[in-house]
Amino acid sequence: MEDAIVAGNLRKRFKTHESLRGKKVFLASLRRRSFYKQALDDVSFSVPRGQIVALLGKNGSGKSTLTKIMTGILFPDSGEIRVLGLNPWKDRIRLAMEIGVVLGAHGQLFWNLPASDAFEYNRRIYEVPDSTYQKRLSYFVDRLELGDVYKRQVRQMSLGEQMKCNFVSSCLHMPKIVFLDEPTIGVDLPSKLALRETISEMQRRFGTTFILTTHIVEDIAIAERVIMLDKGKKIFDDTKENLEKLFGDKRYITLKFDGRAPSKVKMGKVLEREANVLKLEVPHRAIKSRAMMDLLDSKRVMDYSVSEVDLSHILSKLYRKLDRRDRTGGRYAT
Amino acid sequence: MQLDTGRYIAHLRVTQKALYAYKVDMSLSVLFTVLGFAVMIAVWTAIYAATGSTQIKGLSLPAIYAYFIVIGGLNFIVGTNIDDQMMNSINDGSIGTAMLKPIRYPVQLVLGTIADSFSLFSVPALLFFIAALAIAHAGLGLWQAAAFLAEVVMAFCIINLFGFLVGLAAIYLTNVYGLVSIVFSVISILGGMVAPLTFYPQWAQNILYLSPLPSMFYFPASTFLGTISTAMIWQSIAVGFVWILILLGIAAVGWKKMSIKVALAGG
Amino acid sequence: MFERLRNAIRFFLISWEYSLLNFVSYRTSSLMYTIYNTFLTISTFITISVVYYVSSGIAGWSYYQLMFLAATMNIGVSILWNILGAGNLSTQLLKGGVDPYLVKPFGIATIFLSAYGLPSQMAGVASGLVLLLFAASHMTFTLAGAIEYVVLLGVGTFAMILFTLMLVVLAYVLIKGSFFVNKLLGFGQGLSKYPLNIYGLAGQLIFTILFPIGLAYYYPSRAFMGAYSPLVVAAIALLGIAIAAVSYKLFYVLMKQYTSAGG
């Protein structure tokens, strides 16, 4: 079976302006400079069917542009893109029957009507038979714990409830691919967890492919693969585990001392120090070293725990490296 | 008491800058507003031509041209978007934040309107007034200019008070666009924007002259062109002043009730 | 092609239904809008009545004929606004708010003409019809004239709708602006209460070809009054269809410049 998405050498740029500074308000706003921003620069990848891919990057890295090109909202300046074997721009109508899109900032619910009306609207547009619709609605209401929420007016819902309803609205026709653009921004924790669980289940049960654009680290937890963009370029495309290994070959070790924690230790980097607790970052291989064993065996150490470096830390390190590269004009090296 | 004008000027400047951000758009809006009045001029030319008379109800064709040109100029500077601003800020809750600023919220609204009307549109308005005088071959004496200025300030106050009162309705109605549209449609027909009020039947004129409606466009335009008597000018100023007091009173009471309601809602 | 047309009509009707539901959910507000749109017709009536109260009106046009013309304008423009709220669409293009609709399985023109209408304008159509019937009841006309009127009104309004759609996107592409679109349409609405010939030959050409609002009110009204031969009526209808076709094509070309909003 062909891949869900095949992208080759995608490029897209936008024309934008900046005002030149000046003392007088009127004159300053008259003078401005046009320039092009390269939103996507030679991006290539393919996504097999049934995969959950997290599309990561800082603000302005090109994630949303890429999503909009894959869904046919925008088209690239050059390069090739096939989604389910179709050209998203030229075959937009055919493709739209097979995809679902949740755009975080722009919902598709009717503000003054219950979400159920938007569901019914989509049912009619996508010509979903009533019996099928009822089963699917029941499934989503149950999984996302919507209860009677979807029968309320949208303007009376919290952001999390709106997002869940947006998700349902986009999936009622059981699309083969679902694009989620920042779906959990501003959403409460229970709603986020419910969304993530539903995504995982849809992938397992229906083989749905998900492309999840985010910069929320916890959203990546359900993804099998991470594609990372920076300034329009693809800088990483591999599994989540390899991302952790690439930048996260470290471990955290937290030590609780009898009495005051020592001011110096021979290994690792001190991350936190409280009265009798020390948190260190050490290389992974150092965990089983003689020096570490000696430290842990020490009578002064009453308790200890070892944990992996979390993804948020990995990403923040990566972003700091990218920022340093930008400031020094150097190349990024992994 | 020291008057700290710094923050008021800062508020004015940032509002000004936001308006200049869409220069071409605003310029085209101005152009089509101007063309709208050109349409009125074409229409009345045709009407006068068909009538075969140089005057209708004592007004010559140049006087009618001048009348609509002055209306066009007034339209630039006595408009309001206070109703729109209030409705949006009540609906999205930003009124709470606005009320926390060290500038009273109604003052913020007025400053925004002043920035909108007087800084952006005062130049085209002035050009309109000069053109009207040239076309009507009319002069502008000191007394007439002073009376006109007073009428313009009153028109600005009355229209913005109407806008404020409609905006207050947003606390109860949520969406007031319909109400806004009705109110300002009534103003345009009965305020003299589509025809000088002297063209209306006498019984209609008698009723209208007691209302605030002619104070917005008809009286300022007629004062400027000298087509109404001095006694009428004094009457219009007096009636306008009374209406400002009445509308201010209603606005003050309404604002007090509304700000309590906003505070109770946690805005 | 028929399947596509069927789907387009289906989407339009479904969207219109929910747009209407959304509108009437605010009862007081929807009532205000309905009154306002009726009020526009009333203001047309008052304006023309004032003109004929103080003068003999416009040469070649009786009171009822001018009323008929203005009522036709009300109906045509109200249908336009009912199907396409230009200011709303314009704003959504700038904000990227059209994106959720662009992923629906319908043509872009169909989507924009279905999702951004103003249901309140039906009051304008209804009140315009009342004024039209009032005026027509005081005029002499033929069945042929009435048929020509309906045909030209339909074609002209259709051309104006597609032209406006193209204009909104053109404004977006050229100046990323939305304020002036409503002003332009308001200007068009103002001028089309009166016969085109008062704007001179240049005005007549401009408002027939460049900004074809004349097709939606002036020519249908003149046809109703028996001013044109069937050949001329056919020619006007063809012009309307041509303008509609060109606007439609241009719209799709311009939509390639759509850049959404944000990253």
Please state, in angstroms and rounded to a whole number, the distance separating the CA atoms of residues A123 and C231. Answer: 47
**Contact partners, residue C146, CB within 8 Å, separation at least 6:** C224
In the structure, what pLDDT confidence band is assigned to residue C111 with cuts at 50, 70 and 90?
A: very high
Amino acid at C224: F
DSSP element (H, E) containing B19: helix B6-20
The interface residues of chain B toward chain A in range 9-48, judged by CB-CB distance below 8 A, are 13, 16-17, 20-21, 23
Classified as helix, coil or strand, B28 is helix
Architecture per CATH, domain A249-308, reads as: 2-Layer Sandwich (3.30)
Q: Are strands A5-19 and A52-56 parallel, antiparallel or unpaired?
A: unpaired
DSSP letter (8 states) at residue A42: E
Q: What is the pLDDT of residue B266?
A: 46
How would you classify residue A9: left for phi > 0, otherwise alpha for psi between -120 and 50, otherwise beta? Answer: left
Q: What is the pLDDT of residue A332?
A: 38
DSSP element (H, E) containing A156: none
CA B205 from chain center: how many Å? 20
Task: Among B17, B24, B90, pick the best mutation site for testing chain A contact (most A Cβ within 10 A).
Answer: B17
Kindly report, residue by residue over C121-151, the tens digit of the pLDDT.
999 999 999 999 999 999 999 999 999 999 9
Give the residue carrying structure tokens 């629906």.
C104
- C209 has pLDDT over 50: yes
CA B233 from chain center: how many Å? 18
Q: Within chain B, which residues score under 50 in pLDDT?
A: 1-3, 266-267
Kindly report, residue by residue over B151-202, the tens digit of the pLDDT.
999 999 999 999 899 888 877 776 777 788 888 888 888 998 888 999 999 9
**DSSP string for residues in A170-237:** HHTT--SEEEEESTTTT--HHHHHHHHHHHHHHHHHH--EEEEEE--GGGGGG-SEEEEEETTEEEEE
| Runs of H (alpha helix) within C98-191 | 99-102, 108-115, 122-136, 143-175, 179-191
Please state, in angstroms and rounded to a whole number, the distance separating the CA atoms of residues C219 and A123. Answer: 42
Q: What is the pLDDT of residue C189?
A: 84
| Chains contacting C (3 or more CB pairs within 8 Å) | A, B
Domains A5-244 and A249-308 agree in fold = no
CA nearest to B240, candidates B265, B260, B267, B220: B220
List of chain C residues whose C-beta atoms are within 8 Å of the C-beta of residue A64: 260, 262-263
CATH topology of domain A5-244: Rossmann fold (3.40.50)
Q: What is the pLDDT of residue A331?
A: 43
The interface residues of chain A toward chain C in range 63-122, judged by CB-CB distance below 8 A, are 63-65, 68, 71-75, 92-94, 96-97, 99, 101, 103, 105-108, 110-113, 117, 121
Q: What is the pLDDT of residue B2?
A: 44
Q: What is the pLDDT of residue B73?
A: 87
The C-alpha angle with vertex A81 and arms to A75 and A85, in degrees rounded to 5, equals: 125
Cβ separation B17–A29 shorter than 8 A: yes
- C241 has pLDDT over 70: yes
Query: Domain extents for chain B?
Result: 6-264
If one compares A203 and C87, the residue with the highest pLDDT of the two is A203
Q: Residue A183 has which token pair?
A: 């779906």
Mean pLDDT of the C39-56 span: 90
Q: Are strands A233-239 and A225-230 parallel, antiparallel or unpaired?
A: antiparallel
Please state, in angstroms and rounded to a whole number, the distance separating the CA atoms of residues A276 and B69. Answer: 83
If one compares A216 and C113, the residue with the highest pLDDT of the two is C113
Task: Among A112, A162, A165, A211, pick the best mutation site for testing chain C contact (most C Cβ within 10 A).
Answer: A112
CA distances from C236 to A73, B213, C69, C75, C159 (A): 37, 43, 17, 19, 11
List of chain A residues whose C-beta atoms are within 8 Å of the C-beta of residue C11: 125
- C263 has pLDDT over 50: no
How much is the ipTM here? 0.87
Please state, in angstroms and rounded to a whole number, the distance separating the CA atoms of residues C116 and C172. Answer: 16
Return the beta strands (E) in chain A as ranges: 5-19, 32-47, 52-56, 78-83, 99-103, 177-181, 209-214, 225-230, 233-239, 250-257, 269-273, 277-283, 301-308
Please state, in angstroms and rounded to a whole number, the distance separating the CA atoms of residues C72 and B156. Answer: 35
Cβ separation B17–A30 shorter than 8 A: no
The C-alpha angle with vertex C121 and arms to C104 and C99, in degrees rounded to 5, equals: 20
Task: State the smallest CA–CA distance between residue C24 and chain B in angstroms.
Answer: 12
List of chain A residues whose C-beta atoms are within 8 Å of the C-beta of residue B120: none
DSSP element (H, E) containing B183: helix B177-190
Kindly report, residue by residue over C21-35, the tens digit of the pLDDT.
988 888 888 888 888
Kindly report, residue by residue over C149-200, the tens digit of the pLDDT.
999 999 999 999 999 999 999 989 988 777 778 788 888 888 888 999 999 9
Mean pLDDT of residues grouped by 10 in chain A (334 residues)?
A: 92 78 50 79 95 90 93 93 94 94 80 92 94 95 90 88 92 95 81 89 95 83 90 90 73 88 80 86 82 84 83 71 68 38
Query: Domain extents for chain A?
Result: 5-244, 249-308
User: Is there a contact between A268 and A286 (Cβ–Cβ < 8 Å)?
Assistant: yes
